[in-house]
Amino acid sequence: MSLILRGFLLFILIYLISDIFVLKSSFGISFDGVNSTLFGNEELYIDAINEASFLEFWHTQIFFIMMILLTLSSIFIRVANRSRAILTNALMLSAIASLISLPLAFYLSNFFTNIYVITYFFWHAIALYMILYALWKLNATSV
């Protein structure tokens, strides 16, 4: 089972890293990039994203984040002894804050784009740490 878990953790690691590059090229990962996608930019002749496209993007984000977080958390809780509750809760709360701040930015105010970008990178950083720690623990126990 350890080999399967290591392979799965490697796939999650590859997904998280590629998610940053995909989001950079399609939606934006900076404050200005996300604002340009959501609200457009007249100087660069960029139209704002339409509501249907935004909701489709948000819907797929909810699904993929849910699947990644639930599977990663179940593996991490199994292998970690200390700080597993703190890291798991921080991961879940920052991912939920990221998901909630995106429609708030689209429908209410561009202030929430700042929260979206910060929480997006925060949950990715926690997830990357959890993956690397779980891989380390799985390798340490199998040797």
**Tell me, what amino acid is at 126?**
I
User: How many structural domains compose the chain?
Assistant: 1
- Segment 70-91 shows an average pLDDT of 92
Write down the pTM of the prediction: 0.90
Q: Can you give the pLDDT at residue 142?
A: 66
pLDDT tens digits along 19-71:
999 999 999 899 999 999 999 888 888 898 999 999 999 999 999 999 999 99
Place of tokens 């939606």: 27
Q: Can you give the pLDDT at residue 86?
A: 93
Are 34 and 117 spatial neighbours (Cβ–Cβ below 8 Å)? Answer: yes
pLDDT tens digits along 96-123:
999 999 999 999 999 999 999 999 999 9
Contacts of 88 (CB under 8 A, 6+ apart): 73, 76, 77
Could you tell me the residue range of the domain that residue 31 belongs to? 1-141
Q: Is the pLDDT of residue 92 over 60?
A: yes
